[in-house]
A = this chain, B = another copy of it.
Amino acid sequence: MSSDLGFTGADGTAARSAAGQGNSTDQPPTIYDVARVAGLSIASVSRVLNGQRNPRQETRERVLRAVAELGFVPDSAARALSARLKEVVGVVVRRPRWTDSTMFADEDENLQFPDMINRGMEIVAQQHGFDLLIRSVDLDEPDAGRRIFALARKSDGLILHDRILSPEELDRLSRQIPVVTLAGLPTATTANVHGDNDAGMRALARHLIFDHGYRTLSYLAGHDGSPDSLSRGHALADEASAAGVTLLTGEEWRGSYQAAGGARAIERLIAAGASLPRAIVCANDQSAIGVLHALAQHGIAVPGEVAVTGFDDMPVARHLRPQLTSVRQSIQDLGATAFETVYSMINRSPAGIDSARGRDIALPTLLIRRESCGCGSRSVSILSEPPAATPDSAHPE
C-alpha cells in the first residue's frame, strides 16, 4: 500500500546511474528504462500502465514495481503524439482592457467572472485527468486568430469565453477540433453553454412590474454585441411591452458590463437633465454597482426613488447597500458544463461530437430578491405574494 503510491522505493542512485550521468539535471526515466528494469518490452509496460488487454498478474507487478522504483511518469508529448490525445483543453479569455477601470480600482473583481467559470471547468477537468491551458487574448491584437489556432494545436478541445474569431475562422477551427463557446450562440459545428437569460430576466421583469407595480423601466445594457446582454434585453422588452410598461433603452443606456460604464451612463443622464425611470435593470451586477454608486453620489434613494437590479448574483451582491436584487447563475456550473461538453466531443466517438455540435445548453437561473428592487425593509408596492428578502423564489420554467 505504501509502495503502491509510487516514488517510494526510489533510493535514487540506482535509478539515476541507469538513466545517465546527469549532474545538474537528471533526465527523467523513460518507458525504456522501465522496460529494462522490469525485464519486459516497452509494449508490455505501456499496456499495464494504460490498462489494455489484461496482462498477466506477474507482468503487471513487475511493471508496477519498476515504475515505482524509477518514479516513472510518461512524457505527455510522446503520449499525445502517438495516442492523439493531449489531455489538455484550451480556454480563451478576453483580456480585460484597462481602459474602463480608472474609477473603480477594484474592477479586478471583474476577473472573478471568467475566473470562477474557469474554476468550475478545472474541477471537472481534473476528474478526467485533463488540464486547462488558459490563454487570454486581446481583442485589438492583430493576430488574435493565429494565437487561438496555435492554442488549438496544443489542445484536444477549446472553450471560448468570448467572441473573438470571425465566423469563418470559428467555422474552420471547429471543424478541426471540438469547440464549445460561452459566448452566446451555437453554430453548426460548435456547442454553446449559457445561463438561461430569458427565463431569469422574465422572472425579474414580472417581479418588478407585477409585484412592485413599476411602470417605467430602463435597461442598462452590457457591451455592444454581447449575446447575453442582447437576450436579457429582449426578454425584458418582451415582458415590458406585454404588460404595457415603458422601457427606456438606446445609446444613452449602454454600459460596458463594468461598474465604470454603469456609473458613467447615470452621470450623463443626470447631467443631461433626463428623468430617471422607476427601476433600472442592469445587464449584470458590476454595472449595477456603478449605477448604485452614481445614484448615491446624487443623493437619489435606492430603492425608494429608483430601484436597481443586477444579473449574475456575484458574491458581492449581497454585501452592497442596499443588497442587490439579481438573477443568479451558477457560474461554476457554467464552467463545469462547458468542460463536460467539450470532453464529450473529444472523447473519440465521432457520434458524440456530432450529437453535441449545434447544441445550445441553457443552465437554470434563479431570481434572488433582496433590497434594491424594493423588497425587504423598504418595500414599495406588493401586488402578489409577499416578496421575501431571502433567496428562495424560483423562476418560471
B81 A152 Cβ-Cβ under 8 A = no
A10 B143 Cβ-Cβ under 8 A = no
- Using CB atoms, name the residue of chain B closest to A189: B24
- Tell me the A140-158 residues at the B interface (CB within 8 Å): 142-143, 145-146, 149-154
Q: Mark contacts of A309-345 with chain B using CB atoms, 8 A cut-off: 1 yes-contact digit, 0 otherwise.
A: 0000001101100000000000000000000000000
- Is A12 interfacial (CB-CB < 8 Å)? yes
| Cβ-defined partner of A5 (8 Å) among B143, B152, B353 | B143
- Is A111 interfacial (CB-CB < 8 Å)? yes
A153 B315 Cβ-Cβ under 8 A = no
- Is A21 interfacial (CB-CB < 8 Å)? no
Q: How far is the CA of A105 from the CA of B313 in the complex (A)?
A: 13
- Tell me the A238-297 residues at the B interface (CB within 8 Å): none
B5 A153 Cβ-Cβ under 8 A = no
Q: How far is the CB of A94 from chain B (nearest CB, A)?
A: 13
B residues in contact with A315, CB < 8 Å: 105-106, 108
B143 A6 Cβ-Cβ under 8 A = yes
A153 B74 Cβ-Cβ under 8 A = yes
- Is A75 interfacial (CB-CB < 8 Å)? yes
- Is A49 interfacial (CB-CB < 8 Å)? no
Q: How far is the CA of A7 from the CA of B148 in the complex (A)?
A: 12
| Cβ-defined partner of A81 (8 Å) among B7, B75, B122, B132 | B75
Q: How far is the CA of A136 from the CA of B316 in the complex (A)?
A: 24
Q: How far is the CA of A316 from the CA of B80 in the complex (A)?
A: 43
Q: Mark contacts of A73-94 with chain B using CB atoms, 8 A cut-off: 1 yes-contact digit, 0 otherwise.
A: 1111110110000101000000
B112 A153 Cβ-Cβ under 8 A = no
B105 A153 Cβ-Cβ under 8 A = no
B residues in contact with A77, CB < 8 Å: 76-78, 80-81, 86
Q: How far is the CB of A71 from chain B (nearest CB, A)?
A: 7
- Tell me the A32-76 residues at the B interface (CB within 8 Å): 71, 73-76
Q: Is the interface of A mostly helix, strand, loop or mixed?
A: helix
- Is A381 interfacial (CB-CB < 8 Å)? no
- Is A176 interfacial (CB-CB < 8 Å)? yes
- Is A131 interfacial (CB-CB < 8 Å)? yes
Count, chain A residues at interface, CB 8 A = 61
B residues in contact with A25, CB < 8 Å: 175-176, 350, 353
| Cβ-defined partner of A26 (8 Å) among B74, B105, B142, B175 | B175
- Is A28 interfacial (CB-CB < 8 Å)? yes
Q: How far is the CA of A77 from the CA of B115 in the complex (A)?
A: 27
- Using CB atoms, name the residue of chain B closest to A142: B5
- Is A347 interfacial (CB-CB < 8 Å)? no
- Tell me the A118-144 residues at the B interface (CB within 8 Å): 119, 122, 126, 131-136, 142-143
A residues with a Cβ closer than 8 A to B are: 5-7, 10, 12, 22, 24-28, 71, 73-78, 80-81, 86, 88, 105-106, 108, 111-112, 115-116, 119, 122, 126, 131-136, 142-143, 145-146, 149-154, 169, 172, 175-177, 315-316, 318-319, 350, 353-354, 357
- 27 pairs, CB–CB < 8 Å, chain A vs chain B: A5-B143, A5-B146, A6-B145, A6-B146, A7-B172, A10-B172, A12-B172, A22-B175, A24-B353, A25-B175, A25-B353, A28-B152, A28-B176, A71-B172, A73-B150, A74-B153, A76-B77, A76-B80, A76-B86, A77-B80, A78-B81, A108-B112, A108-B116, A111-B115, A131-B151, A133-B133, A134-B134
Instruction: List the 4 closest A-B pairs by CB distance, nearest first.
Output: A77-B80, A76-B154, A77-B81, A26-B175
Q: Could you list 20 further interchain pairs (A-B, Cβ under 8 angstroms) beyond the known A5-B142, A7-B172, A106-B316?
A: A7-B146, A7-B149, A12-B172, A22-B175, A24-B350, A25-B175, A25-B176, A26-B175, A71-B172, A73-B150, A75-B81, A75-B153, A76-B153, A76-B154, A77-B77, A77-B81, A81-B81, A88-B154, A105-B318, A106-B315
